[in-house]
Amino acid sequence: MASLVGSRVERKEDKKLLTGRGKYTADVNFIHQTYAYFVRSPHARAEIKKVDISKASKAPGVVAVLTGADIANDKIGGLIAGWRIKSEDGSDMKVPAHPPLANESVNYVGDHVAVVIAESLDEARSAADLVKVDYKILKAVVKTKDAMDSDQIYKDIPKNMCFDWLLGDRAKVKEAFDKADKIIKIDIINNRLIPNAMEPRAANADYNPSTEEITLYTTSQNPHLARIIISAFNGVAPENKLRVIAPDVGGGFGSKIYPYAEEVVCSWAAKKIERPVKWVADRTESFLSDCHGRDHVTHAELAVKNDGTFLGFKNETIANIGAYASVFGTVTPTYLFGPCATGVYKMPAAYTNVKAVYTNTAPVDAYRGAGRPEATYTIETLVEKAARELGMDPAEIRMKNFPTEFPFQQTLVHSVDSGDYNAGLKKAMEMGEYESFEKRKKESESRGKLRGIGFCTYFEACGIAPSPVVMMLGCGIGLWESAEVRFNPTGNVTVFTGSHSHGQGHDTTFAQIAADQLGIPIENIEIAHGDTDKGPFGYGTYGSRSLTVGGTAIVKACDKIVAKGKRVAAKMLEVNEDEVDFNNGEFVVAKSNKKKTIGEVAFACYLPGTYGEVKSPLPDGEEPGLKETSFFDPANFSFPAGSHICEVEVDQDTGETKVVKYTAVDDFGTIINPLIVEGQVHGGLAQGIGQALYENCHYDDSGQLVTASYMDYTMPRADNFTDFNLGFTCTPATSNPLGTKGCGEAGAIAAPPAVMNAVIDAIGKEISMPATAEKVWAACNKKNKNSEAA
Amino acid sequence: MKTFNYHSVKDVKEASKLSSSKSAFLAGGMTTIPSMKLGLANYKDIINIKGIKKLSGIKVSGKTVTIGSTTRHAEVANSKEIKKAIPSLSALAEGIGDPQVRNRGTIGGSIANNDPAADYPSACIALNAVIHTNNRKIDAEKFFRGMFETSLKSGEIIESIEFAIPQKSSYQKYPNPASRYAIVGVYVAKHKSGVNVAVTGAKSCVYNDKNLSDILSKNFSADAINNTKISASGMNSDIHASADYRANMVKVFAKKAVEAC
Ligand SMILES: Cc1cc2nc3c(=O)[nH]c(=O)nc-3n(C[C@H](O)[C@H](O)[C@H](O)COP(=O)(O)OP(=O)(O)OC[C@H]3O[C@@H](n4cnc5c(N)ncnc54)[C@H](O)[C@@H]3O)c2cc1C
């Protein structure tokens, strides 16, 4: 049988998903179901003086109206920050209380104040209008840059600062800067984004009073994490009495990694009223209350020699984490950001300092790339500026500073196991026809357009992650992954994975891996995920980890299956175990025609006997059945890398910028399914180009979200893009047997600086993201004046 | 959405009689239904006028194109006759929203709503349109009164819009990157009697830029308006475009339109 790894197997899940046969949380209904509608704060910051539910409680169809006081009475715990960060001075990060329903204050528009539960959604919504909340409106803190000098939001958190974190060595950096020929400086903004998963968040919680069990259907990238948090921290029900099911989920991009207030409230309320409680966000609620992404203000400096050698790097960043510290809200701008900020280069000295600030905006958490897009944008715009100021070619300055020996000990944290950055960049330059750029530029100019070219060479750390390492750094959980490979008696297989597919195509990729390992047809393999009652505990999907960590667990579980199979086959074939080889689904004995298929062995394992005589195919002491579990904790992160080259055309009259050529050459290590990988790159590029040119979350000075619908939030559309020219290089990862590195986030990481460098090259002025038409027009028309960052 | 009474009517009289200050006509519903869903509008009565046969259709005579009020954007976009008589009008319809919106939204609904960023009002101004209602004819110049405001009276129904066929014309739109409504849309039409430069999106209501119209009436070329200053005063300013930017875009798009004529 030909190997499936490396082939373009069409996605098994697409038939279901594209023909409306998927099953999403909103499709789940229970008898006696009730509907929840949340009363949300219309103010960015206010004290709650009083919540009067008397009218709402009497409205038609209303079953219950619950408030923060009820949550407090029932001792339901608050939402948590999952990663503990320490400040440079050794003090712990400061975290405000975050009750699922606000009790004393509301801190962003959309914050949860009460929930109305009724027989129908219309009744719940109408009654919600009758909940009277007496607010004392306070001045909101909105702007990232000004947060530390604004009114203090929380009593115990001076300067609105969660932490002031340092990674690196300030003294060494100073030394390096003292020796520099030139210091290159940038001030940039990493614009705030709203995730906009196609499927809005939803929850449907069913409580069985006889068994005291809650079944929670929810839009989660990580149902086991949802269960442990709702059990251990919110205290809604013990883990053995809480089943969390994340059925088909329509995209997450990080925003669905962890449970939100709504899931906690629905689970708790279902238990309280002893009826199922369903909630489905409308699009406005998604805009207001899904955790947002990015939102950094950065000053960075690069010390260089005149020949282009990098000597040192400084990164001073203010990260807006919103009104509350969300589950991965504190790690995203620290350990997922700082280490990668020195880029793909040898950098003798470096530090990253991040001041995380609270503001009266929605919480900010991981969003596709989580920290690495921010890091890459910083270093890659800085490097390109260095090339400009030194009069060097942008490719040359990069190659000069690439490491060539692997493993490469990167400046701040990581030991990068493998890579070949020169090969990637050279291939990208060839595919992107770098040599003939000037010709294309002239051609654009002949049509009155400005053309620019921009590079981005990146590496990122994903495949998260070694548990002891992340827990040492403050993570509240381990990040290994599990798999259970279960043969059914008739020879087909169900693979349970602790990771979760919400667009990534695991049903296909994981089946390809198992098919190769077990030598059985892919049609005979089912991938099961997303249900805490099925399969072992797992850690879900994010951080481009599923294949590298979860896929490896599958390989290891398959290895165990084969090992047991060998023992059983040996007994069945009446040979010694070491005489049995396993090839293409068959246990064979060399130089003989003796063999058993893995299906025959599985059958024997489940039906271990013979008619008419007492004879077992199982060796003495071997248990019946054929099912193996593996928990894989990786020894290292994985480090995809790549070179992206973007060309844009700018219309000076209107400022409109079009991406006209885009070349991406990525090294994801081994590629299991090129079709799926290309799709992942396309999606990432769409989001990355979206961030560079279009998307921007905007709060006004009072903290109202102006971009709360598609009328104002510019989601990129297909016609905003050109064809993407994709290529790959491959240096397999050494930290996992598959050699994979992770591809899910690369496009979103690499595209923003590639696009922005191209825009800056075209117009000859520095501007920050997003390069909207007006901003570019203003920069083009501001004669002799360097336009400032925003 | 709050509950309401739904009426489906067969003739204009019935529709007019049912209407009140708390009702809306339902044509394409592309404005009415989203505003109701968002709680921005509440009506006691919704009067569906799509069943009134005579309100829909396209007629082209020697000098005019007449479009029934419930004619959908997609029909105008695809009409062979309109493409021949006033190609810029079909092109405008083709550029409204997305296929779903074009398959439902109607010309009557669009101009009755008079969204400051809508496309059709500029066509009415540039093409010297006459709005035919159930009891009078209104010149386009007098029809559009202000933001979401027209000279329609309560119970008055637009039956059709009659456009003068120009010698040359072009509509050029800079779409809002998010919503794709016009940030600035400029409709230039050259008639025997002179040139109209209708601008939408830029101010609180569509307007005829008299200055540009005069200059182009004398010299119909993009160069003629090269040095004309467009004042930003009175222009809209929002997160997508400042008043200065809009002023610039009016000129850029006026030139584009003249060049495309
Ligand atoms: C996603 C989206 C994108 C859009 N993009 C654009 C765009 O790019 N450009 C653009 O111009 N528009 C755009 N629109 C608006 C669209 O063109 C609407 O169709 C139009 O504004 C309203 O027309 P309708 O037929 O849907 O009217 P309805 O919503 O049915 O009615 C709107 C109003 O008009 C009144 N009305 C309707 N018909 C008559 C009549 N015959 N006589 C008197 N009053 C009447 C109704 O009482 C109501 O108050 C968009 C809409 C959406 C939802």
* DSSP annotation string for A408-424: EE-SSS-EE----HHHH
**Residue A788 pLDDT > 50:** no
* Residue A784 pLDDT grade (very low, low, confident, very high; cuts 50, 70, 90): very low
The rounded Å distance from CA A199 to ligand 1 centre is 27
CA–CA distance, A99 with A97 (Å, rounded to integer): 6
Measured between CB atoms, which of A126, A655, A711 is closest to B178?
Answer: A711
Interface test with B, best of A714, A720, A721 (most B CBs within 10 A): A714
**Which of A565, A566, A541, A537 has the alpha carbon at shortest distance from A630?**
A537
- Please answer whether residues A710 and A692 qualify as being in contact, where contact means their C-beta atoms are separated by less than 8 angstroms: no
**A296-464+636-781 has which fold?**
Aldehyde Oxidoreductase; domain 4 (3.30.365)
- Please answer whether residues B74 and B103 qualify as being in contact, where contact means their C-beta atoms are separated by less than 8 angstroms: yes
- Please answer whether residues B65 and B85 qualify as being in contact, where contact means their C-beta atoms are separated by less than 8 angstroms: yes
CA–CA distance, B195 with B90 (Å, rounded to integer): 20
Residue pLDDT, tens place only, B116-159:
999 999 999 999 999 999 999 999 999 999 999 999 999 999 99
Residue nearest to atom 19 of ligand 1 (CA): B105
Q: Is A780 helix (H, G, I), strand (E, B) or coil?
A: helix
Angle between helices A552-573 and A598-606 (to 10 degrees): 80
The encoded tokens of residue B146 equal 């202000």
- Please answer whether residues A296 and A333 qualify as being in contact, where contact means their C-beta atoms are separated by less than 8 angstroms: yes
The residue-averaged pLDDT of A288-305 equals 98
CA-based nearest residue in chain A for residue B174: A654
The rounded Å distance from CA B28 to ligand 1 centre is 6
CA-based nearest residue in chain B for residue A125: B1
Q: What is the pLDDT of residue A783?
A: 52
Q: What is the pLDDT of residue A1?
A: 57
The rounded Å distance from CA B60 to ligand 1 centre is 23
Q: Report the phi/psi class of residue A31: left, alpha or beta, with left for phi > 0 and alpha for psi in -120 to 50.
A: beta
Q: What is the pLDDT of residue A227?
A: 98
Show residues of chain A in contact with B178, CB under 8 Å.
Answer: 694, 707, 710-715
- Contacting residues for A387 by C-beta, under 8 A, at least 6 apart: A308, A393, A394, A396, A397
Q: How far is B145 from chain A (nearest CA, A)?
A: 24
Distance spanning both ends of chain A, measured CA to CA: 57
**Residue A785 pLDDT > 60:** no
The encoded tokens of residue A61 equal 């169809």
Inter-chain touch B179–A122, beta carbons under 8 Å: no
Interface test with A, best of B42, B176, B179 (most A CBs within 10 A): B179
Residue nearest to atom 46 of ligand 1 (CA): B25
Q: What is the pLDDT of residue A786?
A: 43
Inter-chain touch A654–B2, beta carbons under 8 Å: no
The residue-averaged pLDDT of A627-651 equals 97
| DSSP element (H, E) containing A386 | helix A372-390
**Which of A529, A589, A516 has the alpha carbon at shortest distance from A558?**
A516
Residue B47 one-letter amino acid: I
The superfamily in CATH containing domain A14-138+201-280 is: Aldehyde oxidase/xanthine dehydrogenase, a/b hammerhead (3.90.1170.50)
Q: Report the phi/psi class of residue A242: left, alpha or beta, with left for phi > 0 and alpha for psi in -120 to 50.
A: beta
The encoded tokens of residue A575 equal 């040979």
For chain A, give the number of residues. Answer: 790
Handedness of CA A42, A47, A48, A49 (dihedral sign): negative
For B44, list phi and psi in degrees, rounded to 5. -80, -40
The residue-averaged pLDDT of A276-282 equals 98
Q: Which atom of ligand 1 is nearest to the CA of B70?
A: 41
CATH class of the structural domain A480-632: alpha beta
Mean pLDDT of chain A: 96
The rounded Å distance from CA B245 to ligand 1 centre is 27
**Residue A789 pLDDT > 80:** no
CA–CA distance, A361 with A143 (Å, rounded to integer): 9
Q: What is the 3-state secondary structure (H, E, C) of A92-122?
A: ECCCCCCCCCCCCEECCCCCEEEEEEECCHH
The encoded tokens of residue B33 equal 């239904």
Residue pLDDT, tens place only, A158-179:
999 999 999 999 999 999 999 9
Residue nearest to atom 34 of ligand 1 (CA): B109
Inter-chain touch B179–A772, beta carbons under 8 Å: no
Show residues of chain B in contact with A780, CB under 8 Å.
Answer: none
DSSP E strands in A682-778: the ranges are: 724-729
- Please answer whether residues B201 and B171 qualify as being in contact, where contact means their C-beta atoms are separated by less than 8 angstroms: no
Interface test with A, best of B238, B245, B249 (most A CBs within 10 A): B245
Q: What distance separates the 2 farthest-apart alpha carbons in chain B?
A: 57
For chain B, give the number of residues. Answer: 261
Inter-chain touch A714–B239, beta carbons under 8 Å: no
For A297, list phi and psi in degrees, rounded to 5. -120, 120
Inter-chain touch A706–B239, beta carbons under 8 Å: yes
The encoded tokens of residue A551 equal 């896929």
ipTM score of the complex?
A: 0.94
For B138, list phi and psi in degrees, rounded to 5. -125, 130
The residue-averaged pLDDT of A736-748 equals 96
Give me the torsion for CA of A780, A784, A397, A670, rounded to 10°: -20
CA-based nearest residue in chain B for residue A283: B38
What residue ranges define each of the domains in chain B, with the CATH number in brackets?
A: 1-48 (3.30.43.10), 168-260 (3.30.390.50)
Q: How many CB pairs under 8 A join A and B?
A: 40
Q: How far is A163 from chain B (nearest CA, A)?
A: 32
Residue nearest to atom 6 of ligand 1 (CA): B97
Identify which of B103, B113, B161 to mutate to test ligand 1's pocket (most ligand atoms within 8 A of the CB).
B113
Same fold for the domain at A14-138+201-280 and the one at A480-632?
no
Handedness of CA A233, A28, A41, A274 (dihedral sign): negative
Q: Is B58 helix (H, G, I), strand (E, B) or coil?
A: strand
Angle between helices A746-763 and A372-390 (to 10 degrees): 30
- Please answer whether residues A343 and A89 qualify as being in contact, where contact means their C-beta atoms are separated by less than 8 angstroms: no
CA-based nearest residue in chain A for residue B241: A774
Total-model pTM: 0.96
Question: Which parts of chain B sit beneath pLDDT 50?
Answer: none
The residue-averaged pLDDT of A487-495 equals 97
Cis peptide before A466 (omega within 30 of 0): no
The residue-averaged pLDDT of A18-29 equals 97
Show residues of chain A in contact with B252, CB under 8 Å.
Answer: 653-654
Q: Report the phi/psi class of residue A664: left, alpha or beta, with left for phi > 0 and alpha for psi in -120 to 50.
A: beta
The residue-averaged pLDDT of A636-658 equals 97
Measured between CB atoms, which of B1, B176, B252 is closest to A653?
Answer: B252
Residue pLDDT, tens place only, A596-611:
999 999 999 999 999 9
**Residue A790 pLDDT > 50:** no
B contact set with A (CB within 8 A): 1-2, 38, 174, 176-179, 181, 239-242, 245, 248-249, 252
Inter-chain touch B177–A714, beta carbons under 8 Å: yes
Tracing tokens 């779409």 back to the chain, one arrives at B175
